[in-house]
Amino acid sequence: MTRVQQFYALTKPRVVQLIVFCALIGMVLAVPGVPDWAHVRLAVIACTGIWLVAGAAAAFNCLIEKGIDAKMRRTAWRPTARGELNDAQTLGFSGVLCVLGGGLLYVAVNPLTMWLTLGTFIGYAVIYTVILKPLTPQNIVIGGASGAMPPVLGWAAMTGQVGPEALILFLIIFLWTPPHFWALALYRVEDYRKSGLPMLPVTHGNEFTRLQILLYTLVLFAACLMPFAYGMSSWLYLAAALVLSAGFTWYGLRLWREYSDALARKTFRFSLIHLSVLFAALLVDHYLF
């Protein structure tokens, strides 16, 4: 990779794209009807600021976990793990992105969005990465709060406050995160064992983890119905939520009854489809009804 590509890789583009997408969902749902040019302009600025801070958090994560990343096949290619970027370069890059993103949000969006975004940065880069991840197998559950913040950030950007609708979106992502990551951890268990991280399949075994995945998909099923129950959406979203949540629960049930690495991979991939299509259905529903 070129130097530019190395720095870009530190931002974990795929992860950040999902973060910005979820934030955009919060922005769109916060604006009744079709947004005008002022709303579009504000959304573009807010997405840019959130992208910069999220990229800063990802780069800081790469710095802290470079030793762990080097031991895992999934992450050994990262520039920090390979020693292509040193600590000073990575930390400086992270700091510049954070300052630029935070400043943009404060000046061009609103202070609440900036503080919430910086709080999310600290929650992910420090509390989760430095403290929780190497300390407890519940790291994904507790640290999932940071990953669930994007819709709240988007809602705050457009309204200057955090409404109950934003908290419902937060809850959905918060409950989605553990079964999503534990499915990955099941078929990557040897990587996590070598890294020394106390992921649930390492500390409590395969069978216990599969049971937790099933239980979380059931609770998530109920949470996914809340936008309809609260009046945020219509029957279109409800139909999508029922189909997607039933599918995720079915994968969880199959995984619990009879495990295979191939099925764990399919469960992980379906979890990505579940969240993306669920939120896309919220968008379509918002404009059609």
pLDDT score of 96: 96
- pLDDT: is 139 or 206 the higher one? 206
Question: Using H for helix, E for strand and C for coil, what is the string for 85-131?
Answer: CCHHHHHHHHHHHHHHHHHHHHHHCCHHHHHHHHHHHHHHHHHHHHH
Q: Which residue has the tokens 């299509």?
A: 277
Residue 142 CB neighbours (<10 A): 16
Per-residue pLDDT averaged across 199-203, rounded? 90
Is 160 strand, coil or helix? coil
Q: Which two tokens stand for residue 174?
A: 């918060």
Q: What is residue 197's predicted lDDT score, i.e. its pLDDT?
A: 78
Q: Write down the residue that tokens 């802290």 correspond to.
A: 64
Task: Summarize the confidence of residues 3-30 as an average pLDDT.
Answer: 90
Q: Output the pLDDT for position 126.
A: 82
Q: What is the pLDDT of residue 78?
A: 87
Confidence at residue 155, expressed as pLDDT on a 0 to 100 scale: 96
Q: How many CB atoms lie within 10 A of CB 4?
A: 8
C-alpha 240/C-alpha 228 separation (Å) is: 11
Mean pLDDT over 62-78 rounds to 82
The conformation of residue 227, written as its DSSP 8-state character, comes to H
- For 263-280, write each residue's pLDDT tens digit: 999 999 999 999 989 999
The burial class, CB within 10 Å (0-12 / 13-18 / 19+), for 32 is: exposed
Domains and their CATH numbers in the chain: 1-161 (1.10.357.140), 163-289 (1.20.120)
Give the per-residue pLDDT at 273: 94
Work out the average pLDDT over 163-178.
95
Mean pLDDT score, 144-151: 89
Residues 45-55: what's their mean pLDDT? 96
Please check the confidence at residue 134 and state whether its pLDDT lies above 80.
Answer: no
Rounded-to-integer distance, Cα 105 and Cα 30, Å:
17
